[in-house]
């Protein structure tokens, strides 16, 4: 199963702009659901995951600039300080672009471990801004980092399968 994911990379459909935009929009909507309490702490950051997916798989199309713009949108929706999400997503995108060959080298089951430090860096950036401006950190915030890393596997498999051709290449 896992071999299939790494082997047929060449047969993936080119990712169209609309598909990328739609996937990011869907992730934003998932983030904007009314999460509360412990669920909010456990909520994986869908936007960060989708951005990281595109940064590692299409590093020439989705870069730090787009991550920054998406971050600004997230800032407005969460009424956090302007630039807080933007900063953490920029750091994440940079990590994804620098390490995209390394991450793609690994099997899809081993990728969460590779992705985790990047997510942690982005979460830490976000919390650090809070710490500088507000003077406190709630540690349960970092739980979201773990769940995000766990969600990487199903999510990248899902996006990968959506980019695969519908028609079986062996048919003809």
Partner 1 sequence: MDSTQSFRFFNRGPSAAARLIFFVLLSLLLLFIDARYKHLESIRNVLALPIQATQRLVTNLITQPGLLWDQFNDYLDTQGNLARENIQLRQQHTVYATQLLQLQVLQAENAHLRNLFEVSQQADFPMQMAEIVYHERDIFKRKVYVDKGSQKNVVAGQVVMDETGVIGQVTRVYPWLSEVTLITDKDHAVPIQVLRTGLRAVVFGSGNISNLALRYMPISADIQVGDELVTSGIDGTYPPGLPVAKVIQIERDPAYPFARILCSPLAGVDQQRQLMIISGLHKLPELPPAETIPAEIKGKKSRRSKQ
CA dist 7 and 10 (Å) reads 8
Q: H helices within 13-63, ranges in order?
A: 17-31, 37-42, 46-57
* Binding of residue 82 to partner 1 (CB under 8 A): yes
Q: How far is the CB of 109 from partner 1 (least distance, A)?
A: 27
Which of positions 5-24 make contact with partner 1 (CB under 8 A)? 14-15, 17
Residue 33 structure tokens: 């659901």
Nearer to partner 1, 21 or 107 (CB): 21
The residue (of 138 and 168) whose beta carbon lies closer to partner 1 is 138
The CB-of-52 to partner 1 minimum distance in angstroms stands at 14
Assess 33 for contact with partner 1 (CB under 8 A). Answer: yes
Q: Does 129 bind partner 1 (CB under 8 A)?
A: yes
Is residue 49 exposed (0-12), middle (13-18) or buried (19+ Cβ within 10 Å)?
A: buried
CA distance 117 to 115: 6
Distance CA 101, CA 81 (A): 33
Report the interface residues with partner 1, using CB under 8 A. Answer: 14-15, 17, 29, 31-36, 40-41, 60-61, 63-65, 67-68, 71-73, 76-84, 86-87, 90-91, 94, 97-98, 129-130, 133-134, 136, 138, 140-141
């Amino acid at each position: 199963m896992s071999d299939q994911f790494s082997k047929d990379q060449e047969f993936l459909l080119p990712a169209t702009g609309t598909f990328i935009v739609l996937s990011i929009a869907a992730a934003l909507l998932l983030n904007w659901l009314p999460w509360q309490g412990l669920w909010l702490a456990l909520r994986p950051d869908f936007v960060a995951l989708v951005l990281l997916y595109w940064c590692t798989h299409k590093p020439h199309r989705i870069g730090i600039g787009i991550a920054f713009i998406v971050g600004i949108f997230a800032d407005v929706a969460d009424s956090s300080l302007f630039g807080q999400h933007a900063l953490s997503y920029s750091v994440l995108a940079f990590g994804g672009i620098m390490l995209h060959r390394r991450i793609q080298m690994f099997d899809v089951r081993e990728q969460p471990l590779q992705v985790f430090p990047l997510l942690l860096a982005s979460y830490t950036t976000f919390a650090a801004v809070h710490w500088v401006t507000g003077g406190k950190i709630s540690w349960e915030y970092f739980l979201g980092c773990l769940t995000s890393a766990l969600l990487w596997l199903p999510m990248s498999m899902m996006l990968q399968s959506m980019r695969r051709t519908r028609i079986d290449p062996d048919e003809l």
